[in-house]
């Protein structure tokens, strides 16, 4: 995809709020999207084409994940579904006692992780040819509802209500490697592990982002304000930061806020590199493709101000150049 091309909207977007979008971990063309309209959609992002869709959930779909040869989805109906056979068939592989709010697939260990508002984290062993619906391989009770989750290598980071953050080793999730409280004072919206697994970035409903490192990493934690605007009467308008995504090559990251703005950050040099403005609604989700030359942006009202008229939901593919995402002042 040439960086000289302009961003474009995907045709046939969801008809209700977009909850999540994810590029395939290897195939740059495949983009998976979940929505409050109860559908899961698979797009060819290059051809701008809706390739497949399923409507097997009975309520809003809150999260999705690509597996090795299939995709997974979960949501308000508490059911965990696998989308198999070249995205033509769905199968229930398990259930939670509460709404499924977060899914992550560890490609390193072929394990699916599901987090729920029932205050459990569950692991599903996907090494068998077919995942059975009999039981999860492991169930871990956590103190609060799972809000967001991120897997990288052997680690998974789990953000809970009450600002608690748990770090687990996917190979043994019976006990957490780390338990900490977010340095942000307001509820967590999104958590993302760094590509090198040295730490994570988390965002809050109150226009702040924290960059935190794990035990044993000799770097300092810090937090910063973002996604804020000054109104005409000099009142500071503060927006939730709904989405975070890391660039797969340069390890810079983007944030998306309810202000409809996407910002690109260099975590090592603590600088903002770029700002992409003018999206019609809140940024609900973000993801880079595997090559790092395209960014998918979900522009979808996130109901921070309750029921009101809002622009239709849209998905944008923005070509990204090498120079945009590369840290500017890093010494050779």
Helices (H), the chain: 322-325
> What is the pLDDT confidence band of residue 4, given thresholds at 50, 70 and 90?
very low
Residue whose entry in the numeric block shows the structure tokens 């391989």: 137
Q: Has residue 309 got a pLDDT over 80?
A: no
3-class DSSP assignment, residue 318? strand
Gap between the Cα atoms of 151 and 191, Å rounded: 10
Query: Measuring CA to CA, which residue among 129, 91, 74 is closest to residue 82?
Result: 91
**Are 71 and 53 within 8 A, CB to CB?**
no
| 201: its two tokens | 């970035």
Q: Could you tell me the pTM of the whole model?
A: 0.94
| 68: its two tokens | 């090795």
Please tell me the predicted confidence (pLDDT) of residue 128. 55
**276 has which bridge partners?**
262
Model confidence pLDDT, tens digit, residues 81-90: 999 989 999 9
Residue 203, CA distances (Å) to 13, 243, 323 in order: 26, 8, 25
Please tell me the predicted confidence (pLDDT) of residue 328. 80
In terms of phi and psi (left: phi > 0; alpha: psi -120 to 50; beta: otherwise), the region of 26 is alpha
Please tell me the predicted confidence (pLDDT) of residue 310. 78
DSSP codes of every residue in 206-261: TSEEEEEE-TT-----EEEE-SEEE-TTS-EEE--EEEEEE-TTT--EEEEETTS-
């Amino acid at each position: 995809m040439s960086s000289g091309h302009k961003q474009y909207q995907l045709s046939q977007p969801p008809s209700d709020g977009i909850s999540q979008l994810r590029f395939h971990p290897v195939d740059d063309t495949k983009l998976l999207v979940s929505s409050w309209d109860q559908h899961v959609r698979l797009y060819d992002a290059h051809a701008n084409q809706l390739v497949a869709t399923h409507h097997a959930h009975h309520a809003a779909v809150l999260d999705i994940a690509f597996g090795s040869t299939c995709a997974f989805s979960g949501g308000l109906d508490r059911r965990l579904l696998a989308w198999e056979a070249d995205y033509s068939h769905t199968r229930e592989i398990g259930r939670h006692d509460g709404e499924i709010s977060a899914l992550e697939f560890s490609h390193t260990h072929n394990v699916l992780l599901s987090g729920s508002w029932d205050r459990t984290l569950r692991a599903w062993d996907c090494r068998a040819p077919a995942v059975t619906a009999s039981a999860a391989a492991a169930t871990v009770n956590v103190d609060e509802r799972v809000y967001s989750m991120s897997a990288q290598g052997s680690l998974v980071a789990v953000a809970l209500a009450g600002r608690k953050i748990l770090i687990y080793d996917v190979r043994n999730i019976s006990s957490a490697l780390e338990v900490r409280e977010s340095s942000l004072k307001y509820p967590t919206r999104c958590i993302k592990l760094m590509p090198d697994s040295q730490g994570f970035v988390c965002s809050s409903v109150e226009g702040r982002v924290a960059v935190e490192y794990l035990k044993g990493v000799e770097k300092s934690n810090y937090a910063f304000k973002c996604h804020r605007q000054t109104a005409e009467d000099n009142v500071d308008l503060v927006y939730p930061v709904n989405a975070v995504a890391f660039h797969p090559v340069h390890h810079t990251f983007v944030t998306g806020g309810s202000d409809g703005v996407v910002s690109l950050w260099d975590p090592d040099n603590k600088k903002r590199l770029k700002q992409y403005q003018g999206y019609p609604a809140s940024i609900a989700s973000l993801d880079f493709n595997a090559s790092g030359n395209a960014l998918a942006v979900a522009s979808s009202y996130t109901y921070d101000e309750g029921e009101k008229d809002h622009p239709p939901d849209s998905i944008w593919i923005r070509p990204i150049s090498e120079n945009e995402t590369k840290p500017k002042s890093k010494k050779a």
